[in-house]
Every structure is written in structure tokens, then in C-alpha cells.
Amino acid sequence: MKLICIGRNYTDHIKELANERPTDPVVFLKPDSSVLQYEQPFFIPEFSNDVHHEVEVLVKISKVGKHIDKKFAHKYYQDIGLGIDFTARDLQSQLKDKGLPWEKAKGFDGAAVIGKWLPKSKFKDLNAIDFRLEKNADIVQRGNTALMLWKIDEIIAYISQFFTLKTGDIIFTGTPAGVGKVIADDVLTGYIEDTEMFSIKIK
């Protein structure tokens, strides 16, 4: 299983971190060891003092594909989910300043939260899905897939130019604005529309 992540896919988040707007999707990977085990708390790693939450809509690949045309991309997934791309922001900044890869800041153990899955047939329009993240019952991130620079089918078509997509691979489609630091005893709860998708305790 691969975890394939898209960065800088929401304009407001690009502005939030003062990043340059990309001309192509920004792609990075997380190892399968980064998946936070079901119903386990997230432990802030000792090497970071500034871990941020980034809530994202997820797509689970349902069959093998390579060089997928955008018009056929919808055939390669059946489930939509929600998760968190935890990021050690201080470490990421250090690595970016040196022109080095981000993996240590993005792919550490527990850095990928994968919540429940919903059949895509539940949604009238996959390009108009509301989602949000609450921290201690306060909404801290709110997004809609209509605001993505690259929509789900475009992302699948783009990624498949470089990586063969396999059954069970998961795509993180990017985060909206509102990312922020987590501290011990925070509770993060993610929703797609009115459905709770996960709830995570920070330690």
C-alpha cells in the first residue's frame, strides 16, 4: 500500500504558508508505517515542537492502473474517506531551507490518520464535498472539494503518469487553510458533511 499525498491543492492554504502556487500537483509519499493504528492516540514525536494537523479528503484506489486518462479515472476508486496528514512543521521548514526532501517531517510513525470510508455513490457530486476538522469541539479547518486546484480525477490521472496505482493505495488530496499546532490532550474530530469519520486523542 502506498500513501500518495498532494500538497498545495487549496489556494487559501498556499497563502497561509506563503508558498508559491504550483503549476503541477505537488506529490510526496508517506510510508505505510506512518499509518496511525485504529483507535490509537497520536503521540507527539520527541523530535518536533510544532506538529500541525492537516485534514484531507482521501481516495482509496480499487484496481491497478497506469497512465489513466482523466475521463476513465472514476473507474479506479469506489470509496471516499477523511484523514490527517500530520506534519512536523519545524522540521519541514529546516529541510525546505536546505533544499532537502520532506519525508522525515511527513512520514514519521503515526503521521497518517485514516478514518472511515464512505461509498462514493453516497455523494451527489464528488467535486462539492464539505468536510471539516474540529479541535476540542471548535472548528479549525473547513473545506470543500470544489475549492481544490486539481480535482480527484485529475489527481489520479496525473499521479498515474509516474506511479502505477495499485488496489488499496490511498491518495491524500490536500488540505484547506486552518492548519495548526497540536498539543497534549487535544481531541481532533473529522467530519465529511454530517458524518463523523474519525476522532483522535493527542498525547
pLDDT tens digits, one per residue of 60-80: 999 999 999 999 999 999 999
State the pLDDT at residue 32.
97
CA distance 143 to 132: 6
The phi, psi pair for 65, rounded to 5°, reads: -155, 145
Q: In angstroms, what is the C-alpha Rg of the chain?
A: 16
Per-residue pLDDT at 17 exceeds 90: no
- Dump pLDDT digits (tens) for 79-113: 999 999 999 999 999 999 999 998 999 999 999 99
At 89, list the grid cell. 512543521
C-alpha cell of residue 160:
498515474
Q: Take residue 13 and report the three cell numbers written for it.
A: 492554504
Q: Who has greater pLDDT, 14 or 15?
A: 15
pLDDT at 15: 63
Show the domain range for 189.
Answer: 3-201
Number of domain units in the chain: 1
Question: Taking Cα atoms as reference points, which of 38, 52, 65, 88 lies closest to residue 179?
Answer: 52
Please tell me the pTM assigned to this model. 0.95
Q: Which pLDDT does position 7 carry in this prediction?
A: 87
Evaluate if residue 19 carries a pLDDT over 70: no
Query: Chain-centre distance of CA 117, in angstroms?
Result: 14
Q: If you count DSSP H runs as helices and E runs as strands, how many of each does the chain have, helices first?
A: 4, 13
What is the average per-residue pLDDT within 180-185? Answer: 98
Q: 14 pLDDT exceeds 70?
A: no
Query: b/e map of 133-159 (b: 16 or more CB within 10 Å)?
Result: bbbeeeebbebebebbbbbbbebbbbb
3-state secondary structure of 189: strand
Q: Which three cell numbers stand for residue 22?
A: 504550483
CATH code of 86's domain: 3.90.850.10
Element (H, E) at 181: strand 180-181
- Residue 133 is predicted with a pLDDT of 98
pLDDT of 154 over the 70 cut = yes
Q: What confidence category does residue 116 fall into, taking pLDDT thresholds of 50, 70 and 90?
A: very high
Q: What pLDDT score does 39 carry? A: 87
Q: How confident is the model at residue 199 (pLDDT cuts 50, 70, 90)?
A: very high
Beta-strand pair 170-172/3-7: parallel
Q: pLDDT class for 12, splitting at 50, 70, 90?
A: confident
Res 59 pLDDT > 80: yes
Copy the grid coordinates of residue 124: 451527489
